[in-house]
Amino acid sequence: MTKAEIIANNLGSINSQLDDDNLKTEIERLRKPSFVELEAVKLLHDWLENKRHSRQCCRVVGESRNSKTLACNAFRLRHKPEQQPGKAPKVPVVYVQRP
């Protein structure tokens, strides 16, 4: 028996608090994309808007799993490119993600 198996046996089994119906409901809830407008996102959008007006480039850097990508995509979608016949398109926000 491995050390991990000994520890698992000593701790015992975990009783699930969710039955099958509740588990399916919870899985569906977690699969849905969710985005909550947080104060930090509003501050980020304000900061990005100031950069946009002053025509400065910038980058957003932070810890993983903070919704940076989602917040930046939301900002980009709020500033869609405009195309007028016979004129070059206006692209107010260019979003580039490094690989």
How many whole angstroms separate alpha carbon 32 and alpha carbon 23? 15
Q: What is the pLDDT of residue 25?
A: 85
Burial class of 71 by CB neighbour count within 10 A (0 to 12, 13 to 18, 19+): buried
DSSP label at residue 16: P
How many whole angstroms separate alpha carbon 92 and alpha carbon 99? 23
pLDDT tens per residue across span 17-63: 667 777 888 888 888 876 666 788 889 999 999 999 899 889 999 88
How many whole angstroms separate alpha carbon 95 and alpha carbon 73? 8
